[in-house]
Every structure is written in C-alpha cells, then in structure tokens.
Structure 1
Amino acid sequence: MTAENTRWEYATLPLIVHATKQILDQWGEDGWELVTVIPGPDGTNPVAYLKRPKAA
C-alpha cells in the first residue's frame, strides 16, 4: 500500500492523566498512532486523537 492510497481509521480517546502512558502504550500495541492531544470539551481532561491504516 502506498502513501497515496492509504486509508485510515481514527479514534478519539479521553485520557486519565495519572495513566496516560499506560493507555497510549496499549493503543500503540494495537497499531494506533497518536496524532495529537488537546484539552477536552470541559477544558481540562485531555483527549487523544489516534489513527491507523485500515485493514485491506
């Protein structure tokens, strides 16, 4: 699969601050790549945005 025709799936994930590394490590093991982390709708709890290539 080339970069031009890679199809992606996306996920959003609320993060628990005291367990962020463990949460992201687990999602990484499942093939997800972290794109960004931004404050959640309440302005405090962070939300991670992740992506991974879709299975063919």
Structure 2
Amino acid sequence: MATTRWEYATVPLIVHATKQILDQWGEDGWELVQVLEGGTGLVAYLKRPREA
C-alpha cells in the first residue's frame, strides 16, 4: 500500500473575497485544512496529494 505524499500551501485571505479565493484553490485540487489568524489577517492552510 502506497503512502500518500502531500504538498502544502499557505494563502492570505482577503475578508471580502474569501469564498472566491478558496473556490479557486479548490478547483486546483487543494483541500482546506485550517484557517488561522496571522499577523496581518486570516491565513488559509491547504494540502493536496503530490503527483508521483
């Protein structure tokens, strides 16, 4: 059984465009893991399986 390898991204979120930003990343295969408040606002943490 193969182990899934992941790649990760952090994305700053603009409050008035959060849905559009997450929808775009989702279309590219990214899954939202968590949203945290960073020093300058909200930051989304995403992951997706790495291609072999």
Q: Which TM class, normalised by the smaller chain length?
A: over 0.9
Tell me, yes or no, if structure 1 residue 31 matches structure 2 residue 29: yes
Q: How many residues align?
A: 52
5+ residue gaps, structure 1, are none
What are the Cα deviations for residues 7-33 of structure 1, in whole angstroms up to 9, with x where unaligned?
000000000000000000000000000
Higher strand share: 2
5+ residue gaps, structure 2, are none
TM-score normalised per structure 1: 0.87
Counterpart residue identity of residue 52, structure 1:
R
Tell me, yes or no, if structure 1 residue 46 matches structure 2 residue 42: yes
Q: Percent identity?
A: 77
Q: How far is 1:49 from its partner?
A: 0.1
C-alpha RMSD of the superposition:
1.3
